Amino acid sequence: MRIQSEQNPQKPASKKVSFGVILSLLPYVWQFKWRVGLALLCLVLAKVASVVLPIFLKDIVDQLSMPGNALVLPVAALLAYGFARISSSLFGELRDALFAKVTQGSIRKIAKRIFEHLFGLSMRFHLQRQTGGLSRDIERGTKGIGFVLNFTLFNILPTLLELLMVMGILLWRYDFWFAAVTMLTIIAYILFTFTVTEKRMVMRRRMNSLDSMANTQAIDALINYETVKYFNNEAYEINRYDENLGKWVDSSVKNQVSLNFLNAGQGVIITTGITVLLWMAADRVVQGSMTVGDVVLVSAYLTQLYAPLNFLGFIYREIKNSLSDMERMFGLMDEQQEVKDNKEAVVLNTRQADIEFRDVCFSYESERQILHHVSFKVGAGETVAVVGTSGAGKSTLSRLLFRFYDVSSGSILINGRDIRSYTQLSLRQHIGIVPQDTVLFNNSIYYNIAYGRPSATHEEVMEAAKSASIHQFVTSLPEGYESQVGERGLKLSGGEKQRVAIARTILKDPPILVLDEATSALDTRTERKIQDELFQIAKNRTTLIIAHRLSTIVDADRIIVMDQGRIMEQGTHSELLEKNAIYARMWTMQFQASKALEASEA
């Protein structure tokens, strides 16, 4: 029985058709319009030089085929041939040099736009995403952009341009049948290629989806390395990964067989066309209506035309593959932002902030409501604690305050104004949080502390670390502040991670402070030490404390007791004890548990 359901590998990431993907790409390319224009001009000049080459080659052969007494060195034709070949090469290289910045610049702008868009999406999207598959989709998509741009402009367009010029020359110099056979061969080739390639795209999409699925599961298992080890599930994860790789291999084999069929069919069509044209040219030489130079001219054009045409089959296949990859990447851009700034949103700028939750209702899913008509205030500089059992909706309050989600009804106000009227950037700049589950970047301790305010000086980072009681620990490490914390901070203990998070928030220096089980990962001695520091830091800030250990919030200005998404009690520690209701029962239970623990340790 499977633990986790698998996504449908045949489901495309986006409903965009190929034309829609191209349209999505054009605005980024058009930002380099002058380079594109010059590159296209070089492309045309290079192709014109390439097409006239066989004409000069014909003249050289015809002049060298004359009787001995009339034979002279074809100087003009040789010089013209050399000039045309050099021009073709130089214009081709200049074209590539001009277009290099267009390709790489477009990839950079698109990648940045997608990265920016992903950060603009709601918490809901990021909780549902699969990081491994997402990263693979973006990686393949950006690679596909370079392929589509380069090969569409520099292979398909030049080949079509050359085809038109060659057809015109064949009609001008020879009879209709040379152009007709050439055209029929090309039409048969293109129709066969398009038909087979379209059928192969279904296999390609399935391959991509299976590849993303395998990558997602592998990364997920590696990220949760400890959990896998805890439950001895190495074999399960390996088998699950191998099973998906097996499906990918089957799909890949089918894809390769269909590719072999396509290549074989293309070869038959091209060889047939070349044979017929050479037969016609040779027959006319025998009849005396064409020269040996004409045979060389036709042969050169055939070689010159069919070589890129044969490559065009590969290009078309790869462009379709790249478009399929880009569909998934651009599909991310179709994800709608759940939380957006209003057009009239203003910038929040204050050092004194009061918070009000006014009749707030909220649900992550419509069938399960989390908060029910929650109303309370936190005055400027006041410290309010929220306590309750697990699932009471405490942490949801901080997520709503940060506007990771918008309330279902009611409103949250800062300084008397709905937070939806502020820009999200300025709102979050005014709020600092020490979360219960601290996740650090795979970088140095210094980097993770300085992340609270990247512009901070070295001295300010040191002061923040001292305030969080972590400076002494860091300096005792062999590499000090440059010590790496590992993936998600796994090289540090829970308490050390929490203190880094506290230092990071201190460095941010926000007027609003949220402590979400901020000392839950610390031992009793460290907790008491940091608790004193936190209350010192909170003195001049509007502070919301979400707590489980009641001993940490006895000095709060007001305590709010929640249960099943509703506020049940409010008051100071002593007032709530006097009521002898929910809070008093929670206090008694924790006090007794704490005494029992101390007795067992004695």
Number of residues that make up the chain: 602
The predicted structure's pLDDT at residue 594? 62
Supply angle C-alpha 575, 360, 549, rounded to 5. Answer: 40
Give the integer Cα–Cα distance in Å for 440 and 452: 12
Query: Half-sphere exposure of residue 125, counting CA atoms within 13 Å on the CB side?
Result: 16
User: Sorting pLDDT into bands at 50, 70 and 90, what band is 430?
Assistant: very high
Token digits of residue 330: 């651009």
The predicted structure's pLDDT at residue 524? 65
- Over residues 306-328, the pLDDT tens digits come to 777 666 667 776 777 788 778 77
Predicted confidence (pLDDT) at residue 12 exceeds the cutoff of 70:
no
Token digits of residue 506: 């201190």
- Over residues 233-263, the pLDDT tens digits come to 888 888 888 888 888 888 888 888 888 888 8
Mean pLDDT of 336-347: 85
Backbone φ and ψ for 464, nearest 5 degrees, come out as -65, -40
The predicted structure's pLDDT at residue 70? 52
- Global pTM reads 0.63
Tell which residue, 381, 402, 502, has the closest CA to residue 445: 502
- Over residues 563-597, the pLDDT tens digits come to 888 999 999 999 999 998 998 988 888 776 666 55
Higher pLDDT, 379 or 176: 379
User: Sorting pLDDT into bands at 50, 70 and 90, what band is 15?
Assistant: very low
The predicted structure's pLDDT at residue 599? 53
With beta carbons less than 8 A apart as the criterion, state whether 302 and 278 touch.
yes
Looking at every residue in the chain, the average pLDDT score rounds to 81
Question: Which domains can be identified in the chain, with CATH numbers?
Answer: 18-333 (1.20.1560.10), 340-430+547-602 (3.40.50.300)
What share of the chain has pLDDT > 90, as a percent? 16
With beta carbons less than 8 A apart as the criterion, state whether 306 and 270 touch.
yes
Amino acid at residue number 262:
L
- Over residues 47-72, the pLDDT tens digits come to 888 888 888 877 777 777 665 555 55
With beta carbons less than 8 A apart as the criterion, state whether 313 and 262 touch.
yes
Give the integer Cα–Cα distance in Å for 292 and 371: 90
Burial of 239 (0-12, 13-18, 19+ CB in 10 A): exposed
The predicted structure's pLDDT at residue 446? 93
Give the integer Cα–Cα distance in Å for 326 and 313: 20
Give the integer Cα–Cα distance in Å for 134 and 130: 6
- Over residues 157-195, the pLDDT tens digits come to 787 787 888 878 877 877 788 888 888 888 888 888 878
The predicted structure's pLDDT at residue 73? 66
Token digits of residue 534: 């936190």
Burial of 218 (0-12, 13-18, 19+ CB in 10 A): middle
The predicted structure's pLDDT at residue 2? 39
